[in-house]
Chains A and B, each alone.
Chain A
Amino acid sequence: MSWILIAMILALLIPIYEACKDENIWQKMLAFASIASKTAMISLFVSVLRDDWMLGAVAVIILSVGNAGLMLLAHVIKRVSQA
């Protein structure tokens, strides 16, 4: 099962590279959204692998709350770019 996780980590490297390369703030936000979802999915996979439901609950909370933080950040950045 370890190779599936390694493939997921390699997929996680793609938006990290995008976040450091692209100068547009919205491209960075898209990369952050991708990273937040991918890290939560890796946590979920590890929780299923270890049969650890406490980890699974935390991963689900991170998956849902990460999007709320993203929306707050995007709202602030949108107001800044309008000003």
Chain B
Amino acid sequence: MINLVNLVNLANLATVTLSGDFYADIYIYLITALLPLSACLLVVQTNPYHALVIRAVLGAIAALVYAVLGAADVALTEALMGTMLAITLYAVAVHSSMVLRLGVLQTAALIEQEQPPETPVLVKEPRLAALITTLRDLIRKQHLRLELVPYPNRAALQQGLTTQEIHAACAPADVESDAIDCVDPANHSHHNGATSLCQYQIATRLQSLHDILQAELAAVGVDTVVYAVSNLEEQR
């Protein structure tokens, strides 16, 4: 019986100590609660660049939590490696991967590119420029950006599509197309009667890109996307 009373007293003492510690350390709990909050914010981001910035926020808050919990070395590592280096590397990776490389024919009437090759490609032909502007706006919804890759002739364009240098190729459809070899003759005749943007055809080797472009371009009245499976993928 005496043991039981002692036990109850001990439990009461423990409760009092715990509640006193709780109010003294409430800022630690609040700071720790920020970590799952920012992690949830990171999870719901859809734009990869926005997610990068929120990841940096998560790293800053994680460094604060580690520092407050007494792990100064872990906090320093999180700030230097986890935040700065990881964010920089991820930014480079997202920058180089979220791109649609579109091959175009480099003829004098269509485009011109000044030296050095790093300069942006200038589109001179107005219908191609309109198509590319439309395309750029459409894939911006998917957080992609458009990069034009000029090729001297149709054979080189087809070669670039086959060797996976480019994701899609854009060429005039009214010329007899030997490069993009999967143009359906029925679709071909249909395109000539449609709007002026339909004078060009886009061939892509990626199924998902084909689905996106087909849906989006059909919504604005252009359906010129041809799904071309490259020879390399057929061999697999």
User: Is there an interface contact between B95 and A35, defined as CB atoms closer than 8 Å?
Assistant: no
Q: Is A9's CB within 8 Å of the partner chain B?
A: yes
Known: A2-B27, A5-B27, A16-B38. A59 touches B95 (CB 8 A): no
Find B49's partner among A16, A58, A77 (CB 8 Å cutoff): A77
Q: How large is the interface on A (under 10, 10 to 19, 20 to 34, 35 or more residues)?
A: 35 or more
Contact for B37 among A16, A36, A55, A69, CB less than 8 A: A16
Kindly state the separation between the CA atoms of A13 and B31 in the bound complex, as whole angstroms. 10
Residues of A within 8 A of B30 (CB): 6, 9
Task: Using C-beta atoms within 8 Å of the partner chain, give the interface range for chain B.
Answer: 35 or more
A25 near B88 (CB under 8 angstroms)? no
User: In the bound complex, how far is the Cα of B84 from the Cα of A57, in angstroms?
Assistant: 18
Contacts of A70 in B (CB 8 A): 56
**Cβ of B24: which chain A residues have Cβ within 8 Å of it?**
2
Chain A residues with CB under 8 Å of B60's CB are 32, 35-36, 39-40, 62, 66
CA–CA, A9 and B38, complex, Å: 13
The minimal Cβ–Cβ distance linking B199 to chain A, given in whole angstroms, is 27
Interface residues of B (CB under 8 A from A): 23-24, 26-27, 30-31, 34, 37-38, 41, 47, 49-50, 52-54, 56-57, 60-61, 63-64, 67-68, 70, 72-73, 75-76, 79-80, 83-84, 87-88, 91-92, 95, 145, 147
